[in-house]
Copies of this chain bind each other. A is one copy, B any other.
Amino acid sequence: MKISLGCELGYRVGGRAVLILNVQPAATPRQRVLSETLAVTPETVRTESWTAADTGNRYLRLHVGEPAELLVRHEATVELTPHLADPAEVTELPPAELPPEALPHLWPSRFCESDRLSRLAHREFGDVPPGHGRVTTICNWVNDRITYLPGASTPTTTATETLLAGAGVCRDFAHLSVALCRALGIPARFVSAHAPGLVPPDFHAVFEAFLGGRWWLFDATRQAPLDALVRIGLGRDAAEAAFAEIHGEATPSRMTVRAEVIEGLDVARDIRTTRAVAGAAEAP
């Protein structure tokens, strides 16, 4: 499947400022970046870029030295070849068998306080048969209890706060799901993404659970087809996968995001929710 995507981010910069952006899609064997352009104005802005070794997140650091209307335009075409499987055959691994690199994703993190939800998670999901279906059960449970409501949460809202509030946005759905997975002993992590079909168009947040030796994608908001998601950032939670970090006098002034399936659209629709999907993290 091919996705055409892009974003335009504007910032009003009042003096010196440093911005660290993570908006470019990760480049992996299952997520090939076919073409890409990045334009930053004004031209006096110095840029640096790097890819984080542990996550594959691609960072762009912008150094603005004087008052300016900063504009970042990114466009790319990406080819996805997700790994698909029958959910019934995707099993959970006990702590004894989890590979070392998956274990840190059992730990609680800033916005996913799994250590406070152990009893609740076991009460609600302890009797659900382990496997891909149990994580889907968690997604359904979250979807039943949390109203999608822009403005209901803030940048410091955590999973437990979302559970109490009963409302949130994609980021909050992902945090609560991740926290519940970890509380059950299922490694889970946060993914920021481009999601074709999102209404209104925006960046999206979903999550991955580690099952049967792979990371599988889940979206408790049910707003986007999993096999068409383009991974941007990966982290323990949103604290580690922000689109933009601002240091200094800069404030967002505009943002537009777009993503369209330009090849393979029918596939995306057909398999929605019926297959287990492992995305960009996987080797082919």
Contacts and interface: CB of A to CB of B under 8 A. Distances in A.
Interface of A: 18, 20, 50, 52, 54, 59, 61, 63, 94-96, 100, 103-104, 106-110, 113, 115-117, 119-120, 123, 145, 147, 155-156, 160, 163-167, 185, 239-240, 245, 247-248
A165 B240 contact: no
Contact of A239 (B63, B109, B166): B109
Contacts of A103: 20, 59
Contacts of A166: 119-120, 123
A106 B61 CA distance: 15
Nearest to A96: B18
21 contacts: A18-B95, A52-B100, A52-B104, A54-B54, A59-B103, A94-B247, A95-B247, A107-B110, A109-B109, A110-B113, A115-B239, A116-B156, A119-B165, A119-B167, A120-B145, A120-B164, A120-B165, A120-B166, A123-B166, A163-B164, A164-B164
B100 A240 contact: no
A108 B160 contact: no
Given A95-B247, A109-B110, A110-B108, A145 B123 contact: yes
Contacts of A160: 164
Identical chains in the assembly: 4
A156 B239 CA distance: 19
B96 A119 contact: no
Nearest to A59: B100
Interface centre among A18, A156, A239, A245 (most CB of B within 10 A): A239
A166 B160 CA distance: 13
Contacts of A59: 100, 103
Nearest to A104: B240
B96 A63 contact: yes
A38 B231 CA distance: 43
A61 B100 CA distance: 10
A275 to B, nearest CB: 30
A139 B42 CA distance: 42
Nearest to A123: B166
A241 to B, nearest CB: 10
A123 to B, nearest CB: 6
A165 B123 CA distance: 11
Contacts of A109: 109-110, 239
